[in-house]
Structure 1
Amino acid sequence: MRARFDYMAAMLDDPTTKRLRWRAHHRGTKEADRMIGGFFDRHHQQWDAQEKALFETLLEEQDVDIMAWAIGTQPVPERFQGEMMIAMQRLDYLPIDR
């Protein structure tokens, strides 16, 4: 059975990936940690260097903005429009508490 959160994941080899994981999971609020960190956990293994760079740029934005773009309450800026944001907007990477 998979744990709700994978905070104790095996160490990642790539320093960039380690840094991105840390930043994705330590946003400042539980909601942002779950949304942004959960998205990273689900998708980062498929990313190439360009996609990692885009995600790193996304992490520079305010959590409330990222979350608003993901749930569709604010328009996505052109620089973040594309496959990554479409995947983030699916929200299928978030565990549901029961």
Structure 2
Amino acid sequence: MTAGEDISVRRKKLRYRAWHRGTREMDLVLGPFADAHVESYDHAALDRLEALMSEEDPPLLKWVMGQETPPDNVDLAFLELVIADHHARLAK
């Protein structure tokens, strides 16, 4: 497997994981985000997405909805990209 194939497989796996979270609400947040962005992401950006997706759905949904403040270990800049993308989709 070449490096290009490796990142292609990784992108496909992340898109699948984004759409199959376990809760429909997070599927609808992360799925469209992954569809829109994953193909253009390099390894570093994919690492950031994977780290965010490693969080459990209940707290992640509360952070996206602005109901709770994420802990310090969460990549707030990347979370804000996800939130902004979600809000833009809701506004359509």
TM-score by length of 2: 0.74
Give, in angstroms, the shift of residue 62 of structure 1.
0.8
2:89 maps to which residue?
94
1:19 maps to which residue?
13
Seq. identity, %: 27
Q: Which consecutive residues of structure 1, in runs of 5 or more, have no partner in the other structure?
A: 1-12
Q: Which consecutive residues of structure 2, in runs of 5 or more, have no partner in the other structure?
A: 1-6
Q: Which secondary structure does the structure 2 equivalent of 1:94 belong to?
A: helix
Question: More helix per residue: 1 or 2?
Answer: 2
Find out whether 1:28 has 2:28 as its counterpart: no
Q: Which secondary structure does the structure 2 equivalent of 1:67 belong to?
A: helix
**1:88 to 1:31, Cα distance in 2 relative to 1, 3 A:** same
- CA RMSD of the aligned region, Å? 2.3
TM-score by length of 1: 0.70
Give, in angstroms, the shift of residue 95 of structure 1.
5.2
Give, in angstroms, the shift of residue 16 of structure 1.
0.4
Find out whether 1:69 has 2:63 as its counterpart: yes
Query: Partner amino acid for 1:78?
Result: D
Query: Partner amino acid for 1:41?
Result: D
**1:53 to 1:73, Cα distance in 2 relative to 1, 3 A:** same
Post-superposition, which runs of at least 4 consecutive aligned residues in structure 1 deviate over 3 A? Answer: 92-97
Find out whether 1:52 has 2:46 as its counterpart: yes
Query: Partner amino acid for 1:77?
Result: P
> Once the two structures are superposed, what CA deviation does each residue of 1:23-79 show, in whole Å capped at 9, x if it has no partner?
100012221111111221222233221110121122221111111111211112223
Measure, in 2, the Cα distance between the counterparts of 1:57 and 1:81. 8
